[in-house]
Structure 1
Amino acid sequence: MKPTILLSLLLIVLQVHNGYGAKDSVQERIASSIDDFALKFSKLITSRQGGGKNIFFSPMSISMAFSMIGMGAKSNTEKQIYKGLGLDKIDTSMIHKGFQEFLKVLTSSNHQGMVNMGNGLYLAKGIKIATRYNKDLQNFYKSEIFAVNFKDNVVAEKQINEFVKANTKGKIREVVRGLDPNTMMVLVNYIYFKDEWEYPFVPQNTKKGDFFVDDKTTVKVNMMKKTGYFRHVRDESLSCWVIELPYKGGAVAWFVLPDKGKLEKVEDGLKGETLSKWRKSLETGTQFYLSIPKLSMATSYDLKDLLPGLGISEVFTPNADLTGITGGGNKIPIFPPVQASHKAFLDINESGTEAAAATFMSSKVGAAPGPPPVPLVFDRPYFFFLMASVDGPMLFMGKTVNPAHP
C-alpha cells in the first residue's frame, strides 16, 4: 500500500537577452496570505481553462519562489509581486524570515511526515549575483547555488533534471528540455510531501462506484470507504460539508463536498475568511460513512499567462527591474523570466496498515448504540486542501472535477 504523495515543482528560467512550533503574528499573516492567494489563483485557473478540468497546485511553492524573485526586484516590479501574492502589508524583511521559519519547521527531522522542500539556483558561468542577494537566498530560502555552462545545454539540462529527480524521489525525471543556450539563470522550487493517513482506509473495502462529473457525464472510479468520527463542519451558508482527515506526521487534509448543484456557489464563496471560519468551527461527535475516490493527477501551469491576472505582470516584461539580483555589477543585464511554469503531482490512496484501520473502525467499548453513520459520498466535484498542520499554512490545493482523468 502506497502512502499519499503530493509533489509540487516550480521552474523559472531567466535568459540573456540581446541588447512551527510557536507561530508569531507574521507567520500567521503570511499563512493567511497564502490561503487568499490560493483561492484567487484557483478561481483564475478555472476562468482560463473552464470548470471542467481538475486543478492542483502548491500556493506555498509559488509564493515562496516569487518571493525569492521579489527579493531581487526593485520599484514597481517588487510592489506588483508582493501585492499579487497578498504580502504587500507585511515588511519584506519579515516575509523572508517567515518563509525561513516555514522551511525550518517543515523540513525539520522532528517533523514526522516526509516533507522535502527547497530551492536551486543555476547561474551561467561567469555571471555573478549580488553578494547580498546570494547571502539572503541561502540564509532565508536554503537555496543551493550552482554554476553551469548553459551553452552546452544538454549537460545543463541533465544537471538540473538530476537535481529535481533526486529531490522529488524520482517523481519528476525531466523538468527541462530544449533549454536555450542563452539561458542565464534557472530557479527551481520544489515541495515533496509523503505521509500515511493516521487512520488508513482498508484496501479491501475499496469498490467501483459512479462519479457524476456533470449532468451528462458519469465515470466509474475506485471509491475508498470507511466509517469513523471525523472532525467536520457543516456550512449551511455555502451548502457544503468539510471533512478533515489527519496524517500521521501532523498534516491534515480537508475534503470539501458541495451539495448537489452548489459547486459554483461554494467556489465563489471560498475566501481566506471562509477557511479561517472553518478552522474555528471544526467539531467532532458525529459518525460518518465516508466514500472518497482514489486519485492520481499531474498538472502544469504557465505562470506567465496566469499571474498577470493577479497583477503580477511587469516581472515578465522588458520593464522588469531585477537589478537587486546582480547589484548592477554585470555588463549583461538580467532580463525577465522567459519561462515560469508550475508542475504538481498528486496521489491519494488507502495508505496504511490493516491493523491501524481496524483500531479506528472499532466501536467505543461499552458505548450505547448511537444513531447510524451519516453517509458522505464524494461522488461529484469537490475541493481538496492540504495544511501543514491543523493551524498551519496551506501546502496544496486542488479541485477534483473528474477523478478518472489523470
Structure 2
Amino acid sequence: MHPSDYLLLLLAGLLALSPGQPHPECDADGRTNSSCQQAPGVREGSPSLKIAPGNTDFALRLYHLMASEAPRENIVFSPLSISAALAMLSLAADSHLQAQILQDLGFNLTEMSESDVHRGFQHLLQTLRLPGSGLETHVGSALFLSQDLPPLPKLLNDTMAFYGSKLFHTSFRSSVGAVQLINEHVQRETRGKIVNLVSSLSADTESVLVNYIYFKALWKKPFKRSRTTPEDFHVDEHTVVRVPMMLQDQAHHWYLHDRYLPCSVLRLDYTGDAMALLILPNRGKMQQIEQVLTPEMLMRWTSLLQKGYFYRKLELHFPKFAISGSYELDLILPKLGFTDLFSHRANFSSTSPGLKLQASKSFHKATLNMDEVGTEAVAATGVSTVFTSAWHTHRVLWFNRPFLVVIFSTSTKSVLFLGKVVNPTKP
C-alpha cells in the first residue's frame, strides 16, 4: 500500500517599492488621461477583465474573515497571489473539485467556463509582466516535484501555459534540503523580501506549489525625506505610538470626504499602471466602514476619484512604515467555502490516474513597506476635514489612526494588495 502523497500549496505575496525615476502620466491639470488608465495589451473584453469581479469579490471576502478573527491586528496579503495559486492548483483536480475551487474563488461558471478563468489569469499575469506598464512587477509560480513521482506532462504543460510555472525536481526525503531549495528560490524571486517561507516539510510530501508577486513602483508625487518628522499615531483610545510621519502641503491629490459614510478616501497614483486607494475611517468607525467594504463601494470611490472636482490641494500627513503578515490558509479557506480542498475528499488524480494527491497545508506570507519614494502597500490613518465645496478652504488629512489600503492594477482592475494598518510600528 502506498502512503498518501501530499500536495503542499505555498503562497508568497509581496508588494515592494524602491527608488527610480518618475515620468509624467497625466495631463498638466492632473486629470487622468487614457494612457494613465490603459496598459498595453488590455482592451475592453480582455480575458483579464472578465475575471476581475470574481477576484475582487474573493479578496474582500477573505479580508472580512481575517478582520473578524483579528480585529486589532495589522492585515496584509496579496489576493492575486492567493487566487492565482488556487486556480493553478485546480488544474490538478478532477472536474468536481476544479469547479468547486473556481466557484469558491468567486467565478460564476454558468457565465464563464473553467478555461475562460485560466485564460483570464494567463492574460492578467502576462499584462503585469509587460515592460511598458511603468512598473516592475514580477509574478510567478514554481512547482517542486518529488524525484519519485511519475511524469505529469498535462499538469506541467497547463501550469506553464497559463501561469508560467517553473518546474524543479527535488528529493523530499531530505526535508532540510527541500526546505532550503524552496526558501532560496522564493527569496531570490522576491528580491530577498520573503525569507523562510517554509520552516519544515513532512517526510511524505510529494510536491510543493509556490506562488509569489513582487511589485515595485514609485509615487507619482514623492514625499521629501527632509520633511518627515516623528508624530503620534493613535492605535486605539488607550494606545499612542510614535511614527515617522511624511508631509506634503503644496501638492494636489484626488481625495474626498464621503457624504454618506464616516470616512475619507485618498487616491495616490504610481508612475505606472497602478494606484493606491487609502480609506481612512473617522475615529472609532473602522468596523462600520469594514461592513460596507464591497466591490460596489470600491467601484463607487474609484469612479468619484476620477472627477476633476475631487482633485484639490491638500496638506497630507502620511506614516512611513513596514509591516508583514503570515497566514495558514488551510485553516482559513474552509471558512470561505473551500470545504473539500484540504480534506480527504479532495481528488487531484487528474495529474495521473494512479496517484492520490491531497492538499495538506497552505501558507501565505506578505510584506508591506511604505516610504517617501513609494510603497509595498500603503496604509494610513488620520484626521480629515469635512468635505465642502469651497476651493480656497485649507484641507488637512492626517493618517494618524488605523486605515485601509487597496492597491490596484489600473488597467486590469485587479486588486494586487489589500490590508489594514492598525499599528505601523508592529512589523
Shorter chain as denominator, the TM-score bin is 0.7 to 0.9
Within 5 A, what are the aligned runs for 1:186-335?
186-227=208-249, 228-282=251-305, 283=307, 284-326=310-352, 328=353, 330=354, 332-335=355-358
How much does 1:324 deviate? 1.8
What is the TM-score with the length of structure 1 in the denominator? 0.87
Match of 1:69 among 65, 89, 92: 89
Corresponding residue SS for 1:383:
strand
Judge which range, 395-404 or 30-39, deviates more.
30-39
Within 5 A, what are the aligned runs for 1:120-135?
120-128=142-150, 130-135=152-157
Judge which range, 73-82 or 370-379, deviates more.
73-82
Conservation of the 8 A alpha-carbon contact between 2:194 and 2:366 = no
Please, what is the CA RMSD of the aligned residues?
Answer: 1.9
The equivalent residue for 1:87 is 107
- CA deviation digits over 1:85-133, x for unaligned, max 9? 1013331101111111111111122222111110000110131354322
Corresponding residue SS for 1:244:
strand
Conservation of the 8 A alpha-carbon contact between 2:269 and 2:276 = yes
Cα distance in 2 for partners of 1:348, 1:134 equals 37
Would you say 1:46 and 2:67 are equivalent positions? yes
Unmatched tracts of structure 1, length 5 or more: 1-8, 13-19, 353-368
Conservation of the 8 A alpha-carbon contact between 1:56 and 1:398 = yes
The equivalent residue for 1:10 is 11
Cα distance in 2 for partners of 1:150, 1:373 equals 63
Q: State how many pairs are aligned.
A: 370
User: Alpha carbons of 1:123 and 1:350: their partners in 2 closer, same or farther (altered >3 Å)?
Assistant: same
- CA deviation digits over 1:34-90, x for unaligned, max 9? 1111111111011222x1100000010010000011122224422331222101333
Cα distance in 1 for partners of 2:311, 2:269 equals 16
How much does 1:390 deviate? 6.0
Would you say 1:33 and 2:54 are equivalent positions? yes
Match of 2:397 among 376, 381, 384: 376
Would you say 1:58 and 2:62 are equivalent positions? no
Within 5 A, what are the aligned runs for 1:131-210?
131-210=153-232
Would you say 1:403 and 2:424 are equivalent positions? yes
Cα distance in 1 for partners of 2:222, 2:12 equals 34
How much does 1:199 deviate? 1.0
How much does 1:24 deviate? 1.8
The equivalent residue for 1:358 is none
Conservation of the 8 A alpha-carbon contact between 2:49 and 2:120 = no
- CA deviation digits over 1:184-213, x for unaligned, max 9? 010000001111111100111111111111
AA of the residue aligned to 2:129:
T
AA of the residue aligned to 1:10:
L
Cα distance in 1 for partners of 2:47, 2:163 equals 17
Unmatched tracts of structure 2, length 5 or more: 1-9, 14-40, 375-389
The equivalent residue for 2:378 is none
AA of the residue aligned to 2:269:
P
Cα distance in 2 for partners of 1:27, 1:172 equals 27
Percent identical = 34
Conservation of the 8 A alpha-carbon contact between 2:12 and 2:194 = no
Q: After the TM superposition, list the runs of 4 or more consecutive aligned residues in structure 1 that deviate by more than 3 angstroms.
A: none
Conservation of the 8 A alpha-carbon contact between 2:145 and 2:170 = yes
What is the TM-score with the length of structure 2 in the denominator? 0.83
Corresponding residue SS for 2:410:
coil
- CA deviation digits over 1:121-151, x for unaligned, max 9? 0110131354322211100000001111111
The equivalent residue for 1:115 is 137
AA of the residue aligned to 1:205:
R
The equivalent residue for 2:127 is 105
Conservation of the 8 A alpha-carbon contact between 1:83 and 1:311 = no
Cα distance in 2 for partners of 1:96, 1:115 equals 20
- CA deviation digits over 1:253-302, x for unaligned, max 9? 11111122221111000001111111211133321111111120110011
User: Alpha carbons of 1:38 and 1:151: their partners in 2 closer, same or farther (altered >3 Å)?
Assistant: same
Cα distance in 2 for partners of 1:57, 1:85 equals 16
